[in-house]
A and B are shown apart, each in its own frame.
Chain A
Amino acid sequence: MSNILEIKDLHVSYGGIKAVKGITFDVEEGSIITLIGSNGAGKSTTLNTIAGLIKPESGSIFFEGNEITGKDPNFIVSSGITLVPEGRKIFPDMTVLENLKIGAYLRKDDLSDDIEWVYSLFPRLKERSWQLGGTLSGGEQQMLAVGRALMSKPKLIMMDEPSLGLAPIVVRDIFSIIREINKQGTTILLIEQNANMALKTANHAYVLETGRIILQGSGEELLGNESVRAAYLGS
């Protein structure tokens, strides 16, 4: 399989701090890739840069062989990359259905099949279709954020800490959905502090520390790695 996303020697400064100091990695089409690392390692900055929210200082980003470095978020979304932002960021004064519709903002075709598809992935959202986003529980909001991202029919979904602040049982649900979405053909780039869950789910993982990739390997390899266990798995 070919690489859907290629990051080459990316440098990004954010808020006056050099957050990403030359990282290079690939995302293979159809896989689940995870970046793990502690707070401040540069994970979110990396995703936000790919999504076009932050302009990189140097380096390049290729999506399906085309350079997308420094393009606007609008262009990135229309080329097939969506970011599920940290903290879910659903629109609290819009209904669940409106949140899904706004996820498909750039699409001009009929949405009803895809809305049904998202509802079949998340039956809880269907029950709450007319409720305001802000009234949902944290787990439901995360499901809505993922559903909203799916509505743009992305080829690559990036997720920024989907497990943040959720109960362990909800986290398990979210991760099983992530695997399900992947099975249905969407490539996934996941960043997590919950390294255990992320490594069990991912085909390939990269460990970020203070803006650099210090380690990479398959999820299982890293789960067995002594220093990863000590630093991120607490054992």
Chain B
Amino acid sequence: MSDFIQANLPYLLAGISVGGQYALIAIGYTMVYGILRLINFAHGDVFMAAGLIMVFAAASLPMYISIPLVIIVTVLLGFVIERVAYKPLRSAPRMSVMISAIGVSYLIQNCALYFTGGLPRVFPSIPWLTDTVTIFGAITKRVTVITPIITLILVVALVLFIKKTKVGMAMRAVSRDFQTSQLMGIKIDNVISMTFIIGCFLAAIGALLYFSNYQSVIPTSGSMPGLKAFVAAVFGGIGSIPGAVIGAFLIGIVENIIKGVGWTTFSDAFTFVLLIVILMVKPTGIFGEKKTDKV
């Protein structure tokens, strides 16, 4: 047993790490769904855009400016997407908003294609994060170890924010009932913007960590992590933050263990088989609402 763990430790570490990165993306999916009942297909592309913004920012600015800049610009991007592409459709059928989200997804990818010329861009190495460290005899980048820690801190902070603060209470109210929330004096649009801001903030952090590990950004870099984070959110019960986080870690770890035992080709397949199984066996996910008014 201990031999097995020793042999697979690098994969396990990588799995926990990538799981944390998926978790940071998955929260954005699950929160937006919780409030708008919308699967925000553009979220994975916002994640990719954050990586690309970092590539361009770090080319001419020092790290201590680039990193905050990436976070701010990504948050602004999320805010603008919501105001321009989703808010005007507030009273439209849900399908229209979803199609708008798919449109935004392609728009971002094509903008990225234009700015990169279709060439993979090398993600700048963030000093300290990309240093190598040795853990129990396994050699890895520091980002691998840092990611789950950052993820857990952010998740705990987010859960406390939603549970304890007034804005968090408003978010819970709006996710339950728009009209009654308005009667309390809550401005719905502000709460929805807040949700996108939080989601994109976490996606930006996720992107910085993820691309520090994978080192190159292409216009479709957001698709696969986005899809996996989405599966994680569905697995955990879309709308549930702890569910999405658990789902993301599970997918990250299993995927890497599969790589570890030599079936690398099937590691992505696992995620999608998991999606199919979940949808057949328990469509509401592990922590999903009991109600069945989903799309």
Binding site for B on A (CB under 8 A): 51-53, 72-74, 77-78, 82-83, 85, 89, 91-94, 98, 101-103, 105-106, 148, 152
Contact = CB atoms under 8 A, between A and B. Distances in A.
A74 B179 CA distance: 11
A51 B166 CA distance: 22
Contacts, number: 58
Interface stretch (B75-83, B137-145, B168-176, B209-217): B168-176
A3 to B, nearest CB: 23
Given A53-B179, A102-B184, A102-B186, 14 more contacts: A74-B187, A85-B179, A85-B180, A92-B176, A93-B176, A94-B172, A101-B169, A102-B170, A102-B173, A105-B166, A105-B170, A105-B184, A148-B184, A152-B184
A100 B174 CA distance: 16
Given A89-B177, A91-B177, A51 B185 contact: no
B183 interface: yes
7 contacts: A51-B183, A83-B183, A89-B179, A91-B172, A98-B169, A101-B166, A106-B185
Best-buried of B172, B179, B180, B183 by chain A (most CB within 10 Å): B183
Nearest to B177: A89
B264 interface: no
Chain B interface extent, by class: 10 to 19
Contacts of B170: 102, 105
B173 A73 contact: no
A103 B183 CA distance: 9
Contacts of A51: 183
B65 to A, nearest CB: 36
A92 B179 CA distance: 15
A105 B176 CA distance: 16
B182 interface: yes
Nearest to A158: B183
Interface in B155-172: 166, 169-170, 172
Interface of B: 166, 169-170, 172-173, 176-177, 179-180, 182-187
A103 B166 CA distance: 11
A47 B176 CA distance: 22
B290 to A, nearest CB: 11
Contacts of A78: 185
B183 A102 contact: no
Contacts of A73: 182-183, 185
User: Per DSSP, are chain A's interface residues mostly helix, strand or loop, or mixed?
Assistant: loop
Given A93-B172, A94-B173, A101-B169, A77 B180 contact: no
A91 B173 contact: yes
A94 B180 CA distance: 14
B183 A85 contact: yes
Contacts of A94: 169, 172-173
Contacts of B179: 53, 85, 89
Contacts of A85: 179-180, 183
Nearest to A77: B185
Contact of A77 (B172, B173, B177, B183): B183
B191 to A, nearest CB: 11
Best-buried of A53, A89, A98, A102 by chain B (most CB within 10 Å): A102
Given A53-B179, A85-B180, A74 B173 contact: no
Nearest to A51: B183
Contact of B185 (A89, A98, A101, A152): A152
Contacts of B183: 51, 53, 73, 77, 82-83, 85, 89
Contact of A74 (B169, B176, B185): B185
A25 to B, nearest CB: 22
B133 to A, nearest CB: 43
Nearest to B187: A74
A53 B91 CA distance: 13
A93 B177 CA distance: 11
Contacts of B180: 85, 89, 91
Contacts of A82: 183
